[in-house]
Amino acid sequence: MRSRDKLRSLQILARAGVDIPRTAFAKHPRDINHLIKQVGGTPLVIKLLEGTQGLGVVLAETKAAAKSVMEAFYGLNANILVQEFIAEAKGADIRAFVVDGQVVGAMKRQGIEGEFRSNLHRGGSGTAIKLNRNEKAAAVKAAKALGLVVAGVDMLQSERGPLVIEVNSSPGLEGIENATQKDIAGKIIEYIQDHIHTNDRKVKDKVGV
């Protein structure tokens, strides 16, 4: 539940020392200019808290555009996040698949031309990538911070290192397995097989069996 709440998950990640893009949140702010300033000005990214698979994510390239989009969302009583735009990512991000504290596969997702969102559901493509030490550490740390044994950690490659933008508690398998040619589902099954008896024993101890 924490990972599916964009605001709560980012608060948890920040508290755990996981690097994330500069982010601001306000419900019906009195000063939109201040909100824009908090994330470093424009261009910036505006996200609906309830959005998934790239839906409800807007790139505002100017202050006027940012104000217009935010006012429209607030007029619909929608909750939004405002984040800095990482230009050097060039419309790409990294999906690292973590199982039991280990990165078992990773792909770089590239958005189609003219599209800053890299989601495969938005037409983006995925290719296998070898993560560096900092990227692996960021993915594992993010999954651990949210208490997830299985997680898809999305990161942007920035000039100041990997920035985690989202942690998925129910990540899809098809895209990353096609990109990496790895049996990610098998890794999840192995984890379950290795821990199922331990979990059974804990349950029995709790109920006094």
42-73: b or e for each residue (b if 16 or more CB lie within 10 Å)?
A: bbbbbbbeeeeebeebbbbeebebbbebbeeb
Tell me how far apart the alpha carbons of residues 34 and 17 are, in angstroms, rounded to a whole number: 25
Please give the Cα distance from 94 to 132 (Å, whole number).
12
According to the model, what pLDDT value does residue 73 have?
87
pLDDT digits (tens, 9 = 90+) for 8-19: 999 999 999 999
- Give the pLDDT mean for 145-151: 96
State percent of the chain over pLDDT 70: 85
- Provide mean pLDDT across the span 117-136: 78
- CA gap 67, 114 in Å, rounded: 22
Fold category of 88-194 in CATH: D-amino Acid Aminotransferase; Chain A, domain 1 (3.30.470)
Rounded CA gap, 133 and 70, in Å? 37
Would the pLDDT of 205 be above 50?
no
d(CA 2, CA 118): 23
Greatest pairwise CA separation for the chain in angstroms: 65
Report the topology of domain 22-85.
Dna Ligase; domain 1 (3.30.1490)
Q: How far apart are CA 103 and CA 49, in angstroms?
A: 27
Local structure of 167: helix, strand or coil? strand
Helices (H), ranges, 89-147: 133-145
Residue extents of the structural domains in the chain: 22-85, 88-194
Is the pLDDT higher at 179 or at 91? 179
Q: Which of 105-109, 115-119, 174-178 has the lowest mean pLDDT?
A: 115-119
More confident residue, 114 or 30: 30
Query: 126 pLDDT band (50/70/90 cuts)?
Result: confident
